[in-house]
Amino acid sequence: MRFTERSFSVVILAAVILITLCSGLSCAAQAPESVPAPEPAPAPESQANLNPDAPVVLKMSLPSSETVTGAKRVRSWLNSRIECIVEGTDTENLKYSWTYANGTLRAGKGLSLEGGTASVVDWMAPGAGGDYTVNVKVTDGHENEARGQVSFKVVCCTE
């Protein structure tokens, strides 16, 4: 490597600045013991609630005129599990009816969307960011019903 007069001047200038900054100060690399380590910064809001493994649980009671709600922030193309827990009169003969406009909905293992037995579903977010809703209506065969709604905020890879 060949040093020119200009690069040598830059190295000298950097050394002078460093000496000036450190004069009268302790320039040791180790921090004093009395200074606590900094707290880790909280995750940016755009990264919060993006755990696709955490299910949204809707706890409902039959009969009920109120809609139980849940919300989740997810990344596009990822699955989110929704679980319905229903308490009330006849919980053995429950029928689940799911509606959604975008994304893909699949019944949990051993359950059926078409047969109405899907108390657990996996919703795959669409590729486009935005606000999406998945609804469920649960009936018990005795004209009792309960409703649930999960609002998803889908974010893309760069958000």
Binning pLDDT at 50, 70 and 90, where does residue 5 land? low
User: What pLDDT, on a 0 to 100 scale, did the predictor assign at position 140?
Assistant: 87
Average pLDDT rounded to a whole number, residues 74-103: 90
Average pLDDT rounded to a whole number, residues 59-70: 84
Q: Is the pLDDT of residue 96 over 70?
A: yes
Alpha carbon separation from 49 to 56, 67, 125 (Å, rounded): 11, 22, 14
Average pLDDT rounded to a whole number, residues 127-143: 92
- Give CATH for domain 48-155: 2.60.40.10
pTM score of the predicted model: 0.64
Rounded Cα distance between 134 and 148, Å, is: 8
Which residue ranges make up each domain of the chain? 48-155
User: What pLDDT, on a 0 to 100 scale, did the predictor assign at position 56?
Assistant: 87
